[in-house]
Amino acid sequence: MSRLNLKLLRDLAHARWQFLAITFVTALGVAMYHGSMVSYETQRASYELSYERLAFGDAWIPVRRAPRAVVRQIERMPNVVAVEGRTSEIVEIEQEKPRRPRVIGRIISLPSGREPAVNRLRIIEGSPLGSRSRRELLLEQAFARANNYRPGDRIYPRFAGRRVRFRVAGIVSSAEFIYPVMGNVFSLPMPELFGAMFADEQVLGPLIGLSGQITEVCLRTRPGSEASVAAAVKRRLKPYGAEEPILRAEQASNKLLQSDLEGNKPFLVIMPALFLGSAALSVALMLARWVQAQRGIVGFLRASGFPARAILFHYLGAGAAIGVAGGIAGIGMGHLIGMWFAAAYERVIRTPFAAPQNRPDLAVTAFALAMVACLLGGWLPARSAARIVPAEAMRGMAASQPRALARIRLPLFLAIAVRNMLRRPMRTLGTASGVASAVSLMIIAGTFRDSMMQAISEAMDDFQRYDITVAFVPERSANIVTAMNAWPGVRLAEGTLDIPVRAKHNGREKDTVAMGFARGTKLRVLRDMSGASIVPEPGQALYSNVLAKRILTEPGDTVRLDYSQNIRGRSASAVMKVGPRLRLMVALPIYMEMEDLRRRFARKLQMPPDAVTGAVIAVEPGYERIVTSRLHRTDGVGLALSRADVTRQIDEVTAFANTFIAFMYLLGSAMAFAIVYTVTDIVLWERTRELATLRTLGYGMGSVLRLVTIENIMMGLLGSALAMYPAYLLARFMLEAANTEGFTMLMVTSPTTYALSVASTLVAVLAAQWPGLRRIRRLDLADAIRTRE
């Protein structure tokens, strides 16, 4: 090894804590990138693998009812790869104790004696459906898991008001229900309350009055021809009441999965960029100090004949060493983080087939990013070292003049601190930027938490002032709600009306649900973006920013709403005026005035004139279980959901987000400490002589501590101030990216988050200066003050 490289290694060993701190930050950046990428690619690959192996459909075309024979005709159409006809019905499900008495299910037919050509199932427990004479079904695994079903258990779907006993033959996973939601207008997975199940077509057909008939055609097509083939199939099925096709991109589960993946993308870039940017900054600060401290040596080396590029590579070597160490450590950590992310996600979303991605290209990219960051960080100081003119280096540095501002009269120690910061403004700015990146990360993490808590709190405590939500299957007259108002323990019950619609505007469309909202409603509140209470006027449609962006409407535009289901064989539509935007956590519903919705839709669909599809109920304290229990025994009640149920579902869905936020905060704090330690230690190294001189003059360690603390606190505060605006912008960008149709948050950063982030940083500053101060206390004063600056 050349002596110059040996010097480099020894320099690194000498500054080992700084080296380790910066390597740690680099490793975190690499780990964040590698871990997120591994997790992202694993999810993506798992979906693709599952879709491929289970022949996931490219398009679904619902029909009112069609003869099964039509499937043969569709098979012969151009670009159709595979086709399957089936029935798909929403039904009430009764369950044995101790399970929830009544939930909702989608029961889907399977062809007799063969696997479906499209949308196959993977049996993960039990067996396929057996003899047609037995009433057996297969349960989707999320529902089975949430309700603790095993093969052999009994389950009771209701058909036309009649409860039918089925045996659970097996537990399956399905590409259509990886994200287990009921349909396109639902976004919150509630596996305990909704389940998909699959039964033999010859068993199911007679029960739903559709023997030899189908209500849905599923297609696999040649790549790129999905839309045209689906449109052609729709035309072919027109005589049978064909609906608008649902392409794979709009399929409920797939859409939410893709939305999740898309929402994660900014994190793949921003988080690693924050860490690696900070690592680069730390490398720059450390090397700048080295170059400053070794100016005389560099001068000698140049005088002795070392070429400038040797000096350049020598100092770049320090950056490279950190890049290599951080890169390797980060890839290892990233692998663990990736596995942890994937496992945490898997607890919420289970894919039929897993495709773990241990891709060398991701590791190589992560490593390259570490190298690039550290070499970029090292570039400026290394270049300045290479440009040192030997003769000038031998003469020593002229003391820079304090700026005019530094002449402002201040108490002595404050003046020293201010002048030190102003003496090298770029260095000060660099140091403060390092602190700022750490503060930013903590503010971003805090903002995510604040925004989520605010959204949930608004939804649960302000928008929803009821204790129980009820869904009727099918819709009922409002008399049932009137009756509920007389039940013991019911404080107030109000009817709700939800009608699935497709919102259309200027060629853009979105499946959603129109919800009736009556003037005088006490149990629900709608708020506009400013937070003011708002009620829809007749003819007016109110909805959130998210839907407005999907269909590109502005307040004052008109939007067309079409009834989007085929179960009645009737159609209804309305053109509504778009009102002010709503503030909603679940971001897709459209609110209309209740009577308006009944007039424009319910009556045309032959619902009762005072139709309700559900109710919301406020109960007296202590009555929630009693009323819920009574609801479960009430005919027509498909689902009764208590506040505790909803809270639990939200907790389950947000658990992953909470873990991620806590992890981000932890990393932010670790990065804050590492950066602050590095920069503080560097500052103390630079000032060793000055501080030793003060001690020699008679100042005690207490005074030195005060001086250093004042300056470091000022640096911490400057860094915190610098962090505020970039943190706000980054948090806003990331929050917008993370908002999905399923869960939308308005950005909220509480004063506590700001205070906590700044306070954590200041604590890190105080802790980080400790090793340097200990070194100064142990200094050989005589030697220190002799050392040439």
Partner 1 sequence: MSDSPLIVLDHVSKVYGTGEVAVHALNDICLDVPRGEFVVFVGPSGSGKTTLLNVIGGLDQPTSGTTIVAGTDLGSLNENGLTRYRRDKVGFVFQFFNLVPTLTALENVELVADLVPDPLDARKTLETVGLGEHMHRFPSALSGGEQQRVALARALVKRPALVLADEPTGSLDYETGIRVLSVMRDVTREMGHSVLLVTHNSEITRMADRVIHLRSGRVAEVEVNPSPARAEELRW
Which chain residues interact with partner 1 by CB under 8 A? 2-4, 6-7, 10-11, 13-14, 296-297, 299-308, 389-391, 394-395, 788
Contact 518, 595 (CB under 8 A): yes
Cα 83 → chain centroid: 35
Contact 726, 569 (CB under 8 A): no
**Cis amide prior to 98 (ω within 30 degrees):** yes
Least distance between partner 1 and beta carbon 384 (Å): 16
What string of DSSP letters covers 643-688? HHHHHHHHHHHHHHHHHHHHHHHHHHHHHHHHHHHHHHHHHHHHTH
Give the single-character DSSP code of 537.
Answer: P
Least distance between partner 1 and beta carbon 43 (Å): 48
Instruction: Considering the complex, state which of residue 389 and residue 701 has its C-beta at the smaller distance from partner 1.
Output: 389
For the chain, how big is the Rg over CA atoms in Å? Answer: 33
Instruction: Considering the complex, state which of residue 5 and residue 73 has its C-beta at the smaller distance from partner 1.
Output: 5
Instruction: Considering the complex, state which of residue 34 and residue 314 has its C-beta at the smaller distance from partner 1.
Output: 314
Instruction: Considering the complex, state which of residue 15 and residue 178 has its C-beta at the smaller distance from partner 1.
Output: 15
Q: Given phi > 0 = left and psi -120 to 50 = alpha, else beta, which region is 86?
A: beta
Least distance between partner 1 and beta carbon 313 (Å): 14
Count of C-beta atoms within a 10 Å radius of residue 408: 10
Instruction: Considering the complex, state which of residue 76 and residue 788 has its C-beta at the smaller distance from partner 1.
Output: 788
Instruction: Considering the complex, state which of residue 322 and residue 329 has its C-beta at the smaller distance from partner 1.
Output: 322
Instruction: Considering the complex, state which of residue 6 and residue 655 has its C-beta at the smaller distance from partner 1.
Output: 6
Three-class secondary structure of residue 309 per DSSP: helix
Least distance between partner 1 and beta carbon 694 (Å): 23
Least distance between partner 1 and beta carbon 729 (Å): 43
Q: Which of 161, 145, 142, 150 is nearest to 94 (CA)?
A: 161
Least distance between partner 1 and beta carbon 742 (Å): 58
Q: What angle do CA 524, 530, 531 make, to 5 degrees?
A: 30
HEC string of 380-438 equals: HHHHHHHCCCHHHHHHCCCCCCCCHHHHCCCCHHHHHHHHHHHHCHHHHHHHHHHHHHH
Instruction: Considering the complex, state which of residue 114 and residue 778 has its C-beta at the smaller distance from partner 1.
Output: 778
Instruction: Considering the complex, state which of residue 310 and residue 710 has its C-beta at the smaller distance from partner 1.
Output: 310
Tell me the CA distances in angstroms from 584 to 189, 521, 527, one per residue in order. 18, 17, 8
Least distance between partner 1 and beta carbon 8 (Å): 9
Q: Given phi > 0 = left and psi -120 to 50 = alpha, else beta, which region is 66?
A: beta
Instruction: Considering the complex, state which of residue 3 and residue 97 has its C-beta at the smaller distance from partner 1.
Output: 3
Instruction: Considering the complex, state which of residue 308 and residue 532 has its C-beta at the smaller distance from partner 1.
Output: 308
Q: Which of 203, 199, 219, 221 is nearest to 211 (CA)?
A: 203
Query: Whole-angstrom Cα distance, residue 599 to residue 210?
Result: 31
- Structure tokens that stand for 448 in this block: 């995510």
Instruction: Considering the complex, state which of residue 303 and residue 575 has its C-beta at the smaller distance from partner 1.
Output: 303
Instruction: Considering the complex, state which of residue 457 and residue 787 has its C-beta at the smaller distance from partner 1.
Output: 787
Q: Which of 350, 347, 271 is nearest to 661 (CA)?
A: 271
Instruction: Considering the complex, state which of residue 163 and residue 395 has its C-beta at the smaller distance from partner 1.
Output: 395
Least distance between partner 1 and beta carbon 774 (Å): 19
Instruction: Considering the complex, state which of residue 215 and residue 688 has its C-beta at the smaller distance from partner 1.
Output: 688
Least distance between partner 1 and beta carbon 671 (Å): 28
Least distance between partner 1 and beta carbon 306 (Å): 7
- Structure tokens that stand for 251 in this block: 């399929």
**β-pairing, 194-200 with 102-110?**
parallel
Q: Which of 496, 462, 722 is nearest to 610 (CA)?
A: 496
Q: Which of 773, 767, 752 is nearest to 675 (CA)?
A: 767
**β-pairing, 166-174 with 154-159?**
antiparallel
Least distance between partner 1 and beta carbon 786 (Å): 9
Instruction: Considering the complex, state which of residue 297 and residue 763 has its C-beta at the smaller distance from partner 1.
Output: 297
Query: Whole-angstrom Cα distance, residue 685 to residue 676?
Result: 14
- Structure tokens that stand for 755 in this block: 């205070």
Least distance between partner 1 and beta carbon 269 (Å): 39
Least distance between partner 1 and beta carbon 9 (Å): 8
Q: Which of 472, 516, 523, 525 is nearest to 496 (CA)?
A: 516
Least distance between partner 1 and beta carbon 320 (Å): 18
E strand or H helix at 5? helix 3-14
Instruction: Considering the complex, state which of residue 395 and residue 570 has its C-beta at the smaller distance from partner 1.
Output: 395
Residue 104 phi, psi dihedral angles, 5° rounding? -115, 145
Least distance between partner 1 and beta carbon 316 (Å): 18
Contact 164, 156 (CB under 8 A): yes
Least distance between partner 1 and beta carbon 291 (Å): 14
Query: Whole-angstrom Cα distance, residue 108 to residue 131?
Result: 17
Least distance between partner 1 and beta carbon 680 (Å): 22
Looking up tokens 């003049």 gives: 401
- Which residue type sits at 222? R
Tell me the CA distances in angstroms from 140 to 201, 656, 657, one per residue in order. 17, 22, 25
Contact 232, 58 (CB under 8 A): no
